[in-house]
Chains A and B, each alone.
Chain A
Amino acid sequence: QQQVKQSPQSLIVQKGGIPIINCAYENTAFDYFPWYQQFPGKGPALLIAIRPDVSEKKEGRFTISFNKSAKQFSLHIMDSQPGDSATYFCAATEFNTDKLIFGTGTRLQVFP
Chain B
Amino acid sequence: GAGVSQSPRYKVAKRGQDVALRCDPISGHVSLFWYQQALGQGPEFLTYFQNEAQLDKSGLPSDRFFAERPEGSVSTLKIQRTQQEDSAVYLCASDEGSMETQYFGPGTRLLVL
Contacts and interface: CB of A to CB of B under 8 A. Distances in A.
Contact of A43 (B40, B45, B99, B107): B107
A49 interface: yes
Contacts, number: 59
A102 B100 contact: no
Given A42-B106, A43-B91, A98 B99 contact: yes
A101 B100 CA distance: 13
A99 interface: yes
Given A41-B106, A42-B106, A43-B107, A99 B48 contact: yes
A93 interface: yes
Contact of A44 (B31, B40, B43, B59): B43
A101 B106 contact: no
B104 A43 contact: yes
A91 B37 CA distance: 14
Contact of B95 (A49, A89, A98, A104): A98
B109 to A, nearest CB: 9
A81 B94 CA distance: 29
A102 B43 contact: yes
A98 B35 CA distance: 12
A104 B41 contact: yes
A96 to B, nearest CB: 8
A21 to B, nearest CB: 13
Interface in A91-112: 91, 93, 96-105
Nearest to B4: A43
Interface of A: 6, 32, 34, 36, 41-46, 49, 89, 91, 93, 96-105
12 contacts: A42-B106, A44-B43, A44-B91, A46-B103, A89-B43, A91-B42, A98-B48, A100-B33, A100-B35, A100-B102, A102-B44, A104-B41
